Amino acid sequence: EGQLVESGGDSVQPGGSLRLSCAASGFPFNNYAMTWVRQAPGKGLEWVSYISASGGSTYYADSVQGRFSISRDRFKKTLYLQMSSLRAEDTAVYYCAKGPTVTKDDAFDIWGQGTKVTVSS
Amino acid sequence: SSELTQDPAVSVALGQTVRITCQGDSLKNFYASWYQQKPGQAPLLVLYGENNRPSGIPDRFSASISGNTASLTITGAQAEDEAEYYCNSRDSSGKHFFGPGTTVTVL
């Protein structure tokens, strides 16, 4: 079925940087687009960023455009989210998700357990 | 438009039927997918496309679409169905977005 395991969450000061990782197993990682989704405390889900299977296409939410960068390592089967110029409003649990998956009508069919990022002075 | 709207909360008696709706212009062109999230847990895909359930999702969950409104129906709601439910769709640029979520309470 597949598994995703995020890591890298931490407490960081405003203006700081952080890199999140998402290790994939149990499915052909290199064949699938991947996505980051976040959830601020007590709030709903917010789509953050997308990367195509090849890594050649990336998209970002307006709220993180220019500050966050998504990438993937096909050999390590790992997805990354490089976050810089962090703000208090970036505080959230960050989930990685497999997809959007064409064969599942653009759904996200596997999710990690999440990693917590806190931005505070 | 990249906005999806959902009712904030609905309640259903145990064993009865409840429908959750998700409205947005994107749904005229792209399918919705639906995610169940229980407190302290990651989201779980429960429905996608026209009316498809991933393996392991009970058949009491079903989806439908009419115009710009997608619906999730639970027929014979169980206590374990109490959760937050989010719809998701995309726009033509490839960006995705979630609805604000609907809290389902099983009485």
Q: What is the pLDDT of residues A65-108, one digit of tens each?
A: 999 999 999 999 999 999 999 999 999 999 999 999 888 888 99
Q: How confident is the model at residue B2 (pLDDT cuts 50, 70, 90)?
A: low
- Could you tell me which residues are beta bridge partners of residue B56? none
Q: Is B51 helix (H, G, I), strand (E, B) or coil?
A: coil
Tell which of A4, A6, A36, A105 to mutate to test the B interface (max B CBs under 10 Å).
Answer: A105
Q: Count of A–B CB contacts within 8 Å?
A: 74
- CB-CB under 8 Å, B49 with A108: no
Which of A55-64, A95-104, B61-70, B95-104 has the lowest average pLDDT? A95-104
Task: Check residue B1 and give its pLDDT.
Answer: 58
Other beta carbons within 10 angstroms of residue A28's beta carbon come to: 10
Collect all residues from A whose CB is shorter than 8 A from any CB in B: 1, 35, 37, 44-47, 50, 57, 59, 61, 95, 97, 100, 104-109, 111-114
Among chain A residues, the shortest Cα distance to B45 is held by A109
**pLDDT tens for each residue of B19-77:** 999 999 999 999 999 999 999 999 999 999 999 999 999 999 999 999 999 999 999 99
> Which chain A positions have a beta carbon within 8 Å of B100's beta carbon?
44
Task: Check residue A104 and give its pLDDT.
Answer: 84
The candidate with the shortest Cα–Cα distance to A6, out of A86, A98, A87, is A98
Element (H, E) at A113: none
* Position A53 pLDDT exceeds 90: yes
**pLDDT tens for each residue of A17-49:** 999 999 999 999 999 999 999 999 999 999 999
Contact A64, A41 (CB under 8 A): no
Q: What distance in Å separates residue A98's CA from the closest CA in chain B?
A: 11
The beta-carbon neighbor of B48 closest among A35, A44, A104 is A104
Task: Check residue A105 and give its pLDDT.
Answer: 86
Q: How confident is the model at residue A1 (pLDDT cuts 50, 70, 90)?
A: confident
The candidate with the shortest Cα–Cα distance to A29, out of A60, A56, A52, A58, is A52
